[in-house]
Amino acid sequence: MRTRIIVKFDVKPPYVVKPVHFEGLRKIGLPMDLAKKYYLQGADEVMYVDIVASLYQREILFDEVEKTANELFIPFGVGGGVRSIEDFSKLFHSGADKVIINTYAVQENPDIINQAAEIFGSQAIVVSIEAKKWKNNWECYTDCGRIQSNKDVIDWVKEVEKRGAGEILLQSVDCDGRQRGFDIELSKKVVEAVHIPVVISSGAGTLEDIKEVIEQAKPSGIAIASILHYDKYTVQDIKEYLRKNDIEVSK
């Protein structure tokens, strides 16, 4: 199965930004421009998360989502501040193909995962994880890598799978934006814990990093931000390198 090369958009509408350790709001560009850029580069998917909607406790900005969706003919996952079935529905109607959820499900109401899966189908429900490492385990964080939950990541991914989530977007608070490599141990544990696809994010700094996490953790996809947003590499650079190293990717 081809490993998907996905581009991650951390969005503080109207800009895509690039935090480090989920902190900082440095602007990268407009999501529609970047969507077009990466579509043309051959990205397999875009995952767009409004990183401040939960933190600021404000509603989702659907117009911004729609503008970005218009540039893409590849799957578009959207999240940030999702709190109700209506939010899910409105996002699908604004151009999302998958909806991503974290804070509300972790801190307030995990049942929403069950409800959403039943109405929209498991495959369209992505649970995003912001994992923070402590001594021997990882904790789920919310509100843009800021607020603790006392929930263990491995327990949580197993739980959401049972509730009907179709995909996991795994991010690491420790590695995010640092370009020093992925949390391989975490990645392996999560991929092995569930039968649903896992997309691993946070930490790509070199092509080697990406190859290593794929070889070691065998995820369904890798979500990349910094090295693409800062034009260190293009999507084709990544795909060519992986192909050369016998890792199957789409065209």
Partner 1 sequence: MSDIVGVINYGIAGNIHSIKKAIEKAGGTVKVINNKEDFKVVSKIVIPGVGSFKDAMKELENDNLMASLKEEIKTKPTLGICLGMQLLSTLGFEYGRTEGLSAIDAEVKPMLVDAKVPHMGFNNINVLNSNDLLKNLENEEFYFMHSYEVVNYTNIIALTDYAGHKFVSSIQKDNLYGVQFHPEKSREAGIKLFKNFLEL
Partner 2 sequence: MSELFGKYGLPLKVKFCKKCTMNNQRPSSTVEFKQKEGEIKRTLAFGEDGVCDACRYAEKKKSINWEERHEQLEELCNRFRRNDGRYDVVVPGSGGKDSVQAAHILKYKYNMNPILITWPPALYTDIGRRNFDSWLDSGFANYTYNQNKKLHKFLTKSAFLNLGHPFQPFILGQKNLAPRLSVLLDIPLVVFGENEAEYGNAIEDNEKPTRDPKYYSAEVSIKDLVLGGIPAKDLIDDYEFKLSDLEAYFPVNPYEIEKTGTEVHYLGYYVKWHPQETYYYSVENSDFMPNDHRTEGSFSKYSSLDDKIDWLHYHTTTIKFGIGRATYDSAQEIRNGDITRDEGIALIKRFDGEFPQQYIEDCCKYMDINLQQYHDAIEKFRSPHLWDKVNGKWELKNPIWKNN
Contacts of 120 (CB under 8 A, 6+ apart): 88, 89, 92, 99
Nearer to partner 1, 86 or 246 (CB): 86
Chain positions 173 to 232 lying near partner 2, rule: CB under 8 A, are 177-178
Nearer to partner 1, 74 or 223 (CB): 74
40 binds, among partner 1, partner 2, none (CB under 5 to 8 A by kind): none
- Whose structure tokens read 């900082």? 24
123 binds, among partner 1, partner 2, none (CB under 5 to 8 A by kind): partner 1
Main-chain dihedrals φ then ψ at residue 156, nearest 5 degrees: -65, -45
Amino acid making up residue 207: L
Which of 134, 150, 195, 231 is close enough to bind partner 1 by CB under 8 A?
Answer: 195
User: If binding is defined by CB under 8 A, does position 141 make contact with partner 2?
Assistant: yes
Nearer to partner 2, 19 or 164 (CB): 19
Integer CA distances (angstroms), 13 to 81, 83, 90, in order? 12, 18, 17
User: If binding is defined by CB under 8 A, does position 97 make contact with partner 1?
Assistant: yes
The tokens describing 127, both together, are 């649970």
Which of 29, 36, 61, 85 is close enough to bind partner 1 by CB under 8 A?
Answer: 85
Integer CA distances (angstroms), 51 to 1, 80, 213, in order? 31, 6, 25
CB count, 10 Å around CB of 60?
21
Chain positions 122 to 161 lying near partner 1, rule: CB under 8 A, are 122-124
Nearer to partner 2, 61 or 193 (CB): 61
Main-chain dihedrals φ then ψ at residue 72, nearest 5 degrees: -120, 135
The tokens describing 225, both together, are 């931000």
Q: 167-172 and 45-50: which strand pairing?
A: unpaired
Total of residues contacting partner 1 (CB under 8 A): 42
Chain positions 120 to 139 lying near partner 2, rule: CB under 8 A, are 132
124 binds, among partner 2, partner 1, none (CB under 5 to 8 A by kind): partner 1
| Cα(16)–Cα(114) distance, integer angstroms | 30
177 binds, among partner 2, partner 1, none (CB under 5 to 8 A by kind): partner 2
- The number of angstroms, rounded, from the C-alpha of 29 to the middle of its chain's C-alpha atoms is 18
Which of 33, 57, 70, 111 is close enough to bind partner 2 by CB under 8 A?
Answer: 57
User: If binding is defined by CB under 8 A, does position 30 make contact with partner 2?
Assistant: no
| Cα(217)–Cα(97) distance, integer angstroms | 26
DSSP states of 138-172 as a string? Answer: EEEEETTTTEEEEEEHHHHHHHHHHHT--EEEEEE
The tokens describing 123, both together, are 């495959």
Note the residues at the interface with partner 1 (CB under 8 A).
1-4, 39, 44, 66, 69-70, 73-76, 85-86, 88-89, 92-98, 117-124, 166-167, 195-198, 220-221, 250-251
Note the residues at the interface with partner 2 (CB under 8 A).
20-26, 52, 55-58, 132, 141, 143, 145-148, 177-178
